[in-house]
Structure 1
Amino acid sequence: METMTQVARGVRDPGPEENTRDRFHRGAGRWVVLAACGIFALLMISPFILMLLNAFKTSADYSVNGPLSWPQRLDFEGLAFFWERTRFPVKLWNSIWTSGLVALFAVLLSLLNAYAIGIGKVKGSPFLVGLFLIANMLPQEVMIYPLFTMAQKVGLNDNPWSIVIIFTVIQSAFGTYLLASVMGTFPKALLEAAELDGASRWRILWDVVFPIVRPTMGVLMTFFFIWTWNEFFIPLVMLTSNVNQTVPIALSSLQGDRMLDVPTLNAGALMSLVPTFIFFLIFQRTLSRGITAGSVK
């Protein structure tokens, strides 16, 4: 009826070509926004461009021409020096090992805590969720002395497992807060139906709750890995021996009190960035699919 009325009035529906033309001709404001986004993106990647420019320079080239010039020739001495001086393969394995275990354990602990708080209806659950949020906001400088003392008493001083345990608890505080907020909105009818079918609490967790929150857990696992990889202060204090230290600590070893080799430092930063960049490329599509699946569910 509406189409016949429009025809009678002489109104014609726009075709697909006209819709496309209107979409790309909405005034100058659209191009201003795109230009602003382009400038912002350029500012965001400018540190990485400077790192690439200076990672393959010699110290003499950097001293004479400055940080904004193109390298006179590609020099790989900085990469080789950083690889040999810091024993980069050992530091890389330490970072991958600790970050991977923290991501796995923190997500699992967050799931169990959030299930007890959000669905188990523990008494004082709003207070517990707020407590987890406050714990996540504490600065590391406040926690370092009691953490170091406890690690000494239990024999985990200068042990990578101390980093795994500490950051599992720290990261799970945020994960518990997020997952508990999600599980608190679960439809009660779905849970009651599972209980009427004779499902136990564990069966409800793994067959009903887990498939729905799995995309969120994938996002948390990725964030936990990257956050733990970039941690510096607590690993610097807890890991005193060179063989147990991580990649960020290896980068800090290139900075002296009176001397700083900028090309070598940029080369080390580039080598430290490559594993996380590969990790992001691998899990980017997985995260996108997980988020889409979660929205469909």
Structure 2
Amino acid sequence: MDTTDLDLDRLPADRVAADVMRIRGGQRAPASEQDVLAEETPVALAYNGISHATMLASPTDLEDFAVGFSLTEGIVEAARDVRDIVLNVSDDGVVIDIEIASACMARLKTRRRALSGRTGCGLCGVETLPEVLRPVAPVTAETVMRLADLLAGMHAMRRAQALHGATGATHAAAWMTAQGALHAVREDVGRHNALDKLIGALAREGTAAGAGAFLVSSRASFEMVQKTASAGCPILAAVSAPTGLAVRLAQTSGVTLAGFVRGDDATLYTHPQRLPD
């Protein structure tokens, strides 16, 4: 896979400074202070020259994002189907031009034609309800890891969140091995984007997600479970709660779903056998 960055020096920074007036304990500070804010940038994805989706994202690890989004949306089947990635930066945002295999592009065009003219449901650019609830292959990995390692991994992910540490405004997604080692962390203003970046990073380096667990600093929504299953990862641990639809998908797709993973606590919603004491 080739990657090309045009005008890379024009990519927005992932954080910006702002003058703020702090109020603490009901008392206004005598002077303004400088704060650090996480930046978000419009990012458009185009496949073989055809615009597909636009979203707001942190302007970092965009090649990982392009690959991860392409995989979790079912546009490509493997990272090798992505032939080239070009980042085009303008004052309005970033356009990621993604060249994919001709067979993948033919399927995408067929899908787009099938959706044409139907009533949109307004969910993340998906145009029909069946597209939102598209089936995912069951996760077959029998990975088992100690619950204590999972809890320690969540602590380690939090310490590795440099952008969140500076701004308090970003989510993170991490992958840890079954042996308890934190392997990769990606951050973004959007929780879905952070997980796509992580999945893309693993795919680009050839690491099998099925040999470990995903950790996320957010709630576990249906889409987060869907992305986890599509990546073949058997365990998803979230710092907050899951939704009912997310639990039902985790059950049917074979994903071990843990919520409220905080401190020494966790709630196991599905397939708890992968996380023995």
Query: Comparing both chains, which one has the higher relative contact order based on Cα–Cα distances under 8 Å and sequence gaps of 6 or more?
Result: 1
Fold shared, TM-score > 0.5 on shorter chain: no
Larger-Rg structure: 1
TM-score (norm 1): 0.23
More strand per residue: 1 or 2? 2
TM-score (norm 2): 0.24
More helix per residue: 1 or 2? 1
